[in-house]
Every structure is written in structure tokens, then in C-alpha cells.
Amino acid sequence: MTILSNITRVHKLINPLKRTDNLLVVIRRTFASNGSFDYDLAVIGGGSGGLACAKEAVNQGAKVAVLDYVTPSPQGTKWGLGGTCVNVGCIPKKLMHQAAILGESIHEAVAYGWQVPSVESIKIDWSALTQAVQNHIKSVNWVTRVDLRDKKIDYINGLGEFKDPHTLIATMKNGSKKELTARNVVIAVGGRPHYPDIPGALEYCITSDDIFSLSHPPGKTLVVGAGYIGLECAGFLNSLGFPATVLIRSVPLRGFDQQMARVVTAEMEEKGIKLEHKCIPLSVEKLESGQLKARWLNTETQEQHEDLFDTVLIATGRYALTKQINLPAAGVNCVSPNGKIIADAEQTNVPHIYAVGDVLEGRPELTPVAIHAGRLLARRMFSGAAQQMDYDNVATTIFTPLEYGCVGVSEETAVQRHGADNIEVYHAYYKPTEFFIPQRNIRNCYLKAVALREAPQRILGLHFVGPVAGEVIQGFAAAMKCGITMEQLMNTVGIHPTVAEEFTRLNITKRSGKDPNPASCCS
């Protein structure tokens, strides 16, 4: 590492000549190949964070290997290189969500004058949908493989684990073992869905690992869990024509602003999704008909209920895949009870072993977070950079039927940190222009800004429920990074008529008690 660090310092001195970048890479790889390790960096896990770190490390002249292997789900589903986001997460979820939106748009087109024959007979072809989604995923898998090859990153399709702090063993598909050594190791194994310990869960239930490639239409579906994965799946399934019921153990969207969570679930109920509050699953039984009999308990009334479903989808959280990689052999002991790694600036208690992405304790489980953290880590390891990942004010969106986008803290967290008397909450209901033809429900189109009460009222959190919430919140996320205040927001001229401009029109506080409903679309 000392030799490589010296090379980096020399490079910074002569870089103004603009002729040294390729030379630096050649020199560094030469030293790596002649050193005591096979690689400068080995990454365990081929998801977004691990791949971003690997590719940036190569850009900095490091010799890199990526170990990645997908253990099949209990239902036998597995996938290619790219991690959760590409294969069974963000990408297929957004495509399914889009399919649901298109279905609703076809029906609404009639009100706009489109002559759509036999609207009542319109239904989704589940096989065609899943095939289209899987074709796109496979294309991304292929592009990712080609990208690693072009960047001369050694891709090892094997299940990696530690033999000692610098040695990894990869178990290949045929059972053979491959051993390699690395000066630095990045753990980026992510997580997999958790199954509740009830009869029939492993045998008969699916998870988000399975739904996007399910070989048959899901039919009437029970979703167990009301986090963002559970609500998103219930939302697009219901909109695609498959009735959905959701079991909510405690509160929906735990960790998010709870007022906004209630707005989201109110919209879901109005769309026909059945929500069973304060309920936990007891068992799932497969009948001779092929249907599944699910039983659950209402923990408030102690009443038991049961119903028949075609599919039961478990969405009760995820666990980190750290037990499979033999962390004790590496001396890594900074592991939380749920298996996640506790790391300071992505560094474990072993100085040359790092972690990025969903495997980290207390960090947002978001693809862009893992990617950015991975890149910054590689620059710190191999180019002497100092920039750390900033995990604050990271925006995200829940792709429920009416989307929820947010950045910053919830109202509850703001009050907890600063006190209710020191917080001002601006809020409003609004009327999206596109909801007037046809007359769609606008009762749950709502947004709010959580700010400090003292001038200039720095904004702590922005929350928006409505159409294209992800597109709306992204721009405001940049403003949050710059420390935007309510004064600045109110003095921003909006683009009319858009739903994003509603943030610039906020002027009513909860404290005032005034009606937050607009008088008109231009008020």
C-alpha cells in the first residue's frame, strides 16, 4: 500500500502535464502483480455498491476481483450479476408499477376522448409482462458482465467467504474451490428476505425474490408486512387486477413520516386494497385445490381470522448475508444482532476490510447510496482522497399507487430532536391538473415541509404524496443539500401547472389551524 500511495502522490504532482493517467494505471497494476497479494481489492458481492467500488478502484489503477453468487430462494428463484436492485428490486418493481399506471391510463383515456373498444375486457397478460421484465433484466446482467470484462475486473461466479483476513475462498457452482488473496476487501453482500417462523412459510410462500418472475398469475394475494416492499407489491398487484390484502403488524412504513404513511394507506384502501391492522400471520396451509389457507391473529382483539388466497407474499424485512462469509476468520467482530456490519466510514474493526450498501447497520438501504459510498471508498483507498459519504438528507420514493417521495427527517423526528415549539410545519392539499379529467380522487394529494420555527426557517424535511413523486423530490433533494430555507422556497417561482410547484406555494402552517385546501388550481 505504501508503494501505491507514493505513486499516487507522484501522480498528483505531475498530473498537470495531462499525460500520466494511463501510465499510473500501468505502474500500479505492475506493482500489484509483483506484490504479495493476488489483488489490490476483492469485492464480495456483485450488487450496485460492490460493482461501483470495484469499477472506481480500477479507474484508480487497482487490480480487482469481484466474487458473486446467488443462492436460490426457497422457491428456487435465482438471477444473474447485478444484485437486488437490478434483478429483484428497484428495476423490476418500477416496471411493474409502470405497467399498473398504464392499465389505469387506458381506462382514463376514454374520458379524454380516446375511443378504446371494450374497456371492461382489458386485462393484463401476466406472462407477457414478466417476460418483458425478465428480458430487460437479462440485458442488464449481460451489459454488467461485459463492463467488468472491458475494465479487466476478474469476475468469479462463486460464493465467497474468508479463510483469513487477506484470503478468500470461492465455492463454485460445481463445488470446486478457488482461493485468492487481496490487500483490501470490501463486503457488499446485501441481504435477502426474512421469513416468519410459522408453519408453511418456507414451503408455500414467495417473497420479492420471486414475484417478478412468477411463472403464473398471482391471483388473489395476501401480503404479509407493510414496509415499503409490501405496500409497493400490494399496490401494483391490485392495480394489475389481482386483489390484495395486507397484514400490518404494527404501523405501515415504519421509519417514515407516519402522517404521510397514513395518507398512502388511505389511498390504497380507497383503491380496493384490504388492510388488516395489528395482525400477525399464524400459518399457511396448501389445500388440495392448490389454494393457500392463511390464518392470522389480531393482536388487539385476540381474534383469529382465515381466508383463501392464490399467493402469499412475505415482506417482513430483510437480513444481511454476513453469516455465510465466515467473518470470524477475518477477525471482523463489529456485527449487530441482525447480522449487519457496524462500520465507521465503511471501515470495519479490521483496517483493510470495509463494507458498503445494505449490509451496513443504520444506513439507508438504497441503491444510489451504495453506489456513491462505494465510489468514494475506492477513491479513499487508492487515490488518497478524503471525501466521506454523507448519509444525511438522502431522498427516496415509495412507488405505491399514489407515490410518496421524501427527503430529510420526518415530522416526528424533527419534534424529537428540536422540540415541538421549535418546529414549524407548512402543509397543503392540492389538485393535480391531470386528475380533473376524469374526476379522480384528490383527497390524498398532500405535501408538507418540516422546518425550524426560527427565521430563516431552515427546512429539515420535505414530504410529498402524489403523481411522479420521485421526479418531484429529486430536485428538492439538491436544494436540501444546499440548506434551503422556507423563505427561499416561498420565493421560488413554480412551473405551472405541475405538481412540483406545490412546494413553492406552501404558506399555511399546522400551528395556524387554517384550512390547507386550495381555493382553486391557481390560488
Q: Could you tell me which of 263, 269, 238, 271 has the C-alpha nearest to residue 97?
A: 238
Decide if 194 is catalytic: no
CB 448 within 8 A of CB 425: yes
| All three cell numbers of 273 | 386494497
3-state helix, strand, coil in the chain (%, to 5): 35, 25, 40
Question: To the nearest 10°, the Cα dihedral for 490, 496, 497, 500?
Answer: -40
Helices (H), 359-468: 367-382, 411-418
Q: Could you tell me which of 225, 202, 221 has the C-alpha nearest to residue 307?
A: 221
Q: Could you tell me which of 190, 259, 223, 187 has the C-alpha nearest to residue 43?
A: 187
For strands 459-465 and 404-408, give the pairing.
antiparallel
Distant-in-sequence, close-in-space partners of 145: CB < 8 Å, separation ≥ 6? 80, 81, 155
The residues pairing with 296 across neighbouring beta strands, listed in sequence order, are: 281, 305
Q: Could you tell me which of 272, 281, 209, 203 has the C-alpha nearest to residue 237?
A: 272
- DSSP label at residue 177: E
11, 305, 427, 496: the active-site residue: 496
Q: Could you tell me which of 444, 450, 377 has the C-alpha nearest to residue 50?
A: 377
Distant-in-sequence, close-in-space partners of 6: CB < 8 Å, separation ≥ 6? none
Can the peptide bond before residue 432 be classed as cis, meaning omega within 30 degrees of 0? no
| Residues assigned a catalytic role | 496
